Structure 1
Amino acid sequence: MTAQPATRQRPRDLKASIGVVGAAFIWGSMVPLTALALTTLDTFFLAAVRYSVALPALGAIAWLADRRFPLHRHLPWRQIIPLGAIGMGLFVICFTLGIHYSDPITVAALISGAPIVSAVAMRVLEGERLAARLPFAILLAVGGGLMVALGKPESTASQGFRGGELLVLTAMLVWAWYSVKSQAWLALRAGMSQPAISFLTALAAALFLWIVFLVGQAAGFAQAPSQPLPLPIWLNILWLGIACTGMATLLWNYGVSRLGVTVATLQLNLEPVFAVLVGVALGAAAGWLQILGGLVVLAGVIWVQMAPRTR
């Protein structure tokens, strides 16, 4: 099903924008916390566990929202399985390995280009043209995101090309595909609610990731922890699972359903800004370039929000 032209979208949907900003705030903590978790946990084990931890909360929300258990007959599994396995499962594997084989500064800089990736994905997959205000807003979002990512005072320079950068780019492309097709296949065509979409695709992702982990464990390239995990690591896993995988995905899907992928991704570029704010709250220093970059990203978001409301 072809998406409606961009000129028919309603980019000033305040509730949807708040949802995307909430996802940006939660995901702002994901890169440093994932890097911290990888110091003690296997990549494939972490990916499988974090999606499994998110399922109870997502299932309960879907049950309450739809007033019926989300697992029932006549579900479109032919669409749900690839969306979960590829859109979510492959995304988290590529993203986690990308962080492991790169560095947080480079990853944050790459993520700043997400609005461009999403705009290209919408053009290729759905034939959607950019609304009049979006090109300039994307320029502000990408430029401001790069300023935030690279403007760290006394910055630790990136470690050079190590291969993880290509994995992060692959993760961005896969996530853009998931964001587009989850709405086209499940929301528009199958009439499913956003909580149900989030739960069912996360369920398919968790099953896929456990299969990958078990195969990897048998082949020798994945391993479970050899001793009980301390409480701080479990708290990190719970945050990555319930908040970063569960709640943020739900907020993101809701925002995309109302704003469209390109506008939502543009607003998601507040993610590195929130990452800096969290770091400052924990005692880190912020440079003037990061502060200026945050204002530039915010200007792009406001520029889109000021667009005339169209039907």
Structure 2
Amino acid sequence: MTTALPATPRPRNLKASFGVLGAAFIWGSMVPLTSLAVTTLDPYYLSAIRYSLAVPALGAIAWIAAGRFPLRRHLPWRRIVPLGTIGMGLFVLCFTLGLKYSDPITVAAMFSGAPIVSAVMMRVLEGERLAPRLPFAILLAVGGGLLVAVGKPESLASQGFRGGEILVLTAMLVWAWYSVKSQVWLAVHGLTQPEISFLTILAAAVFLWLAFLVGWATGFAHAPTHAVSPLEWLNIVWLGLACTGSAVLLWNYGVSRLGVTVAALQLNLEPVFAVLIGMALGAAAGWLQLVGGVVVLAGVVWVQMAPKKA
């Protein structure tokens, strides 16, 4: 029997929306920075080190926020371990390897379909029907996200199918599963969102180091063979503390109050933030990307303006 999700406030929860927008802003930098990092670092090593950096920071936040040490007796480890290993560990491995064997434009375009994946996952796992305004908002979010991803003329010529796209799709599926089940399985045990984030990332970090050690012993994973430069370490620290730590915490907070589908819809502003970050760094933006950003934003506003009644 499936445990029901706790009652979800209506989508007009601005504090939760700002949390998801914060995650979208941080994750807007993740695709290009990860794509850059895997050119010099092994994907297994990169995944393990970035999740390890997030563990102590999230542990301290969870301890302060809940007023209790997050590692204690009688935790639901039978739920935490699969959520961490499959929902997070497998996600980051598939995402990182997918970027290595694909290209950032293709990955960004695929992730624009996240609201559809989340809506299907909620329907399959929890039997949740879409609210009246969500289908049109999802259409705007997905369409706008695609425009942002492929809106630059030279970006239309991607590198072709190299297998990484299957890994990216797998990453999207397991992340949607994690987003649903982390609330169903763990929030009902009285765990706070910082505790959920810390415990699942801790399980993911252990899994990722085991995966790296097995890969290193069998020859398909490698430790760095060069001295990691300060710029590379800065990239790794950002991917660990911000993209893995802070963004996951903000995401879990938003999902707990908005639901996975609405949160995924608002997360489609991620490619918009990626374009804005690129423009701030001197990159040119195509007019289709700007139009796509407006379309995604229209979908988010459409949901936020839903009537107050259920």
1:4 positional shift: 6.0
Work out the CA distance in 2 between the residues paired with 1:111 and 1:310: 31
- TM-score, normalization by structure 2: 0.98
- TM-score, normalization by structure 1: 0.97
The answer to whether the 8 Å contact 2:17/2:266 transfers is: yes
* Secondary structure in structure 2 of the residue aligned to 1:155: helix
Q: Deviations over 1:216-239 (max 9, x none)?
A: 000000011123211000000000
1:156 positional shift: 5.3
Q: 2:84 — aligned with what?
A: 84
Moved over 4 A (4+): none
Work out the CA distance in 2 between the residues paired with 1:270 and 1:223: 35
1:191 positional shift: 1.5
Q: 2:299 — aligned with what?
A: 300
Code of the aligned partner of 2:171: A
Unaligned runs of 5+ in 1: none
The answer to whether the 8 Å contact 1:105/1:149 transfers is: yes
1:57 positional shift: 1.0
Q: 2:53 — aligned with what?
A: 53
Q: 2:69 — aligned with what?
A: 69
Work out the CA distance in 2 between the residues paired with 1:78 and 1:86: 13
Q: 2:284 — aligned with what?
A: 285
Q: 1:175 — aligned with what?
A: 175
1:309 positional shift: 2.4
Q: 2:212 — aligned with what?
A: 213
Q: 1:110 — aligned with what?
A: 110
Code of the aligned partner of 2:229: P
The answer to whether the 8 Å contact 2:147/2:289 transfers is: yes
The answer to whether the 8 Å contact 2:150/2:156 transfers is: no
The answer to whether the 8 Å contact 1:2/1:127 transfers is: no
Work out the CA distance in 2 between the residues paired with 1:238 and 1:256: 25
1:9 positional shift: 3.9
* Secondary structure in structure 1 of the residue aligned to 2:250: helix
1:104 positional shift: 0.6
Unaligned runs of 5+ in 2: none
Q: Deviations over 1:230-250 (max 9, x none)?
A: 100000000000000000000
Work out the CA distance in 2 between the residues paired with 1:256 and 1:208: 24
Work out the CA distance in 1 between the residues paired with 2:33 and 2:294: 25
* Secondary structure in structure 2 of the residue aligned to 1:10: coil
Q: How high is the sequence identity, in percent, across the aligned residues?
A: 77
Q: 2:40 — aligned with what?
A: 40
Work out the CA distance in 1 between the residues paired with 2:293 and 2:156: 20
Code of the aligned partner of 1:295: V
1:2 positional shift: 2.0
1:143 positional shift: 0.2
Work out the CA distance in 2 between the residues paired with 1:92 and 1:46: 10
* Secondary structure in structure 2 of the residue aligned to 1:73: coil
The answer to whether the 8 Å contact 2:34/2:96 transfers is: yes
Work out the CA distance in 1 between the residues paired with 2:197 and 2:140: 30
1:309 maps to 2:308? yes
Q: 2:190 — aligned with what?
A: 191
The answer to whether the 8 Å contact 1:47/1:209 transfers is: yes
The answer to whether the 8 Å contact 1:141/1:266 transfers is: yes
1:269 maps to 2:271? no
Q: 1:29 — aligned with what?
A: 29
Work out the CA distance in 2 between the residues paired with 1:185 and 1:154: 45
Q: 1:96 — aligned with what?
A: 96
1:310 positional shift: 3.8
1:308 positional shift: 1.5
Code of the aligned partner of 1:38: V
* Secondary structure in structure 1 of the residue aligned to 2:283: coil
1:155 positional shift: 2.8
The answer to whether the 8 Å contact 1:144/1:293 transfers is: yes
Work out the CA distance in 1 between the residues paired with 2:6 and 2:226: 52
The answer to whether the 8 Å contact 1:153/1:286 transfers is: no
Q: 1:136 — aligned with what?
A: 136
Code of the aligned partner of 2:176: A
Work out the CA distance in 2 between the residues paired with 1:2 and 1:157: 45
| Matched residue count | 308
Q: 1:2 — aligned with what?
A: 4
Q: 1:123 — aligned with what?
A: 123
* Secondary structure in structure 2 of the residue aligned to 1:161: coil
User: RMSD of aligned C-alpha atoms?
Assistant: 1.1
The answer to whether the 8 Å contact 1:4/1:128 transfers is: no
The answer to whether the 8 Å contact 1:115/1:262 transfers is: yes
The answer to whether the 8 Å contact 1:52/1:206 transfers is: yes
* Secondary structure in structure 1 of the residue aligned to 2:132: coil
1:105 positional shift: 0.6
Q: 1:239 — aligned with what?
A: 238
1:154 positional shift: 3.2
Work out the CA distance in 2 between the residues paired with 1:147 and 1:244: 24
